[in-house]
Amino acid sequence: MNLWFRLLNMLLRRPWRQSVDPFSTTVVGMRVWPFDLDLNFHVTNGRYLTMADVGRMDYVLKTGAFRTALRHKAVPIVGDVWGKFRRELRLFERFEIHTRMLGWDEKWLFVEHRFMSKGRVVGVVIMRGVFRSGRGPLPPIEIVRDLGVPEQSPALPEWLQRWSDSCDGLSGHLRGEEGRALRAA
C-alpha cells in the first residue's frame, strides 16, 4: 500500500509537465515513515527497491519515455537490480532519490537510483530493464531514438558491464536447471 501512496503523491506533482533531457538526473523527495522500517528501526532493504520504482516512474514521465511505451503498447519491466547500502535512513528522515540513465546495450537499459540524505549517498540501486510489448522486449535503441538521444550509448563503466554479465550468467544457469528439471519430469 505504501508504494501506491508514494506513486499518487508523485503523480499529483504532474511530472509529465516537466520535460527533461534523458541524461538529466530527476529528483523525488521523500520521508521515512514507520511502515518503511525493519526490526532495526531503519529503512528495510526491500523498501529501497520499492522507492526506486517511484523514482523510475518519475524519470519515465519527465523524459517522455512513457509516450514511446504507450505508442508501442509496452510496459517497463525490471530485469535485475543490485543495491549498495552505505548508511541507514531513520524514522521521519527526509531524503531524495536521484535517478539517471547510465546507458544501454543491445537488450537492456541501465538506470541508477541514488538515495541522498544530508548531502551524502545513503544507498544506490542499479537496475537493468526493458520495455516489453505484446511482441516482446523493445530494443533499447527504439526507446532512445524516440527520446532524441544519440543512438550510441555512453560507455558503460566496467563494474556495470561485469554486473550485467554476471546477471546473464545466472540467467543462463537458471535456464539450464529448468531444462534439466523438465527433461527429468
Taking a C-beta distance cutoff of 8 angstroms, is the pair 89, 43 a contact? yes
- Structural domain includes residue 170: no
The pTM assigned to this predicted structure is: 0.88
- Structural domain includes residue 165: no
CATH number at residue 103: 3.10.129.10
- Structural domain includes residue 167: no
Burial category of 60 from C-beta neighbours within 10 Å (exposed 0-12, middle 13-18, buried 19 and up): buried
- Structural domain includes residue 131: yes
Burial category of 73 from C-beta neighbours within 10 Å (exposed 0-12, middle 13-18, buried 19 and up): exposed
- Structural domain includes residue 87: yes
Query: What is the pLDDT at residue 67?
Result: 86
- Structural domain includes residue 166: no
Amino acid letter, residue 65: A
Burial category of 139 from C-beta neighbours within 10 Å (exposed 0-12, middle 13-18, buried 19 and up): middle
Percent of the chain's residues with pLDDT above 70: 91
Tell me which residue range forms the domain holding 38: 2-154
Taking a C-beta distance cutoff of 8 angstroms, is the pair 36, 95 a contact? no
pLDDT digit string, tens, across residues 158-175: 999 999 999 999 999 999
For the chain, what is the domain count? 1
Taking a C-beta distance cutoff of 8 angstroms, is the pair 48, 86 a contact? no
User: Mean pLDDT over residues 86-97, rounded?
Assistant: 95
- Structural domain includes residue 59: yes
The H or E element spanning position 183 is: helix 158-184
Query: What is the pLDDT at residue 1?
Result: 43
